[in-house]
Amino acid sequence: MSPTTIGVLALQGAFIEHIKLLHQAAVELRLQQDALYVDNKDLRFIEVRNASELAHCHALIIPGGESTSMSLIAERSGLLEPLRDFVKVDRKPVWGTCAGLILLAESANRSKTTGQELIGGLDVRVQRNYFGRQVESFEADLELPFLEDGLPFHSVFIRAPVVEKVLPSTTSNTADSNAATIGGNVIAPSKRATTAPVEILGRLPGRARTLKDRTTTAEDLGEDGDIVAVRQGNVVGTAFHPELTDDPRIHVWWLKQV
């Protein structure tokens, strides 16, 4: 049986930290005596910098870092379109953290006026740097119901985005195949759409803000808190940085999903 290859996009950002926690997560899975992960050879973790390396991956993590830099480097290295195919056409499992969440969104506002392109795959609109600049970074304990032990997850937010709106699934299924800017928002280019709903996996309590258009807000959904973790089919996004902690529980959960 060939190993399951998990790639971590290694163009910029905290990719080494993700690989470290993936190895810890694999050990944890073996300690749980999950038969699939008894042998070290059943899982392989690689850094991804080009389309050839991406082609060997069964799943991918897009780390925290600087989303504009990642998109520019991906475009210049011929990796941007293969990434879009990986996420939106092949629908392989992908997880983006912080900058990775921005890149996986179908729409992002307050993006830089030049150079920012999106991969897409999550029918959400994100707001970059929602909590402010680097000096306003913070840590918080989150209640994440998908973690089996029910214990809070100590999360790191650094110039973090939030999901400010869940979009209709038709948003990513337009006739235009090119990225665009509409009403000040960057829009990901169309690929194959999915009918899977967007699931809200986690919120940051007490920080919800009212949106002017009020299409979908935390208040409308009957809960207080900014949306900081979502899932749509095989695509997961978190606004915080699990890779900057020593807690592998989310990595364990994600490997199980893969």
Lowest mean pLDDT, pick from 79-88, 159-168, 226-235: 159-168
Task: Name the token pair of 137.
Answer: 């970074």
pTM equals 0.86
- How many residues does this entry show for the chain? 258
Q: Report the mean per-residue pLDDT for the chain.
A: 84
Write down the pLDDT at residue 36: 52
Average pLDDT over residues 49-64: 97
Domains of the chain in start order, with CATH, are: 4-257 (3.40.50.880)
Extract the annotated binding site. Answer: 65-67, 128, 158-159
Catalytic residues, which ones?
98, 241, 243
The 10s digit of each residue's pLDDT in 200-220 is 999 997 654 444 444 554 455
Please report how the helices 249-257 and 15-31 are oriented relative to each other, as an axis angle in degrees rounded to 10. Answer: 80
Exposure letters 43-73 (e unless 16+ CB within 10 A, then b): bbbbebbebebbeebebbbbbbbbbbebbbb
The answer to whether the CB of 256 falls within 8 A of the CB of 29 is yes
* Coil vs helix vs strand at 149: coil
Extract the annotated binding site for L-glutamine. Answer: 65-67, 128, 158-159
Average pLDDT over residues 66-77: 93
Cα separation, 215 vs 207, in Å, equals 18
Query: Beta strand pairing status for 180-182 and 185-187?
Result: antiparallel
pLDDT band at 52 (very low <50, low <70, confident <90, very high): very high
Q: How far apart are the first and last CA of the chain?
A: 16
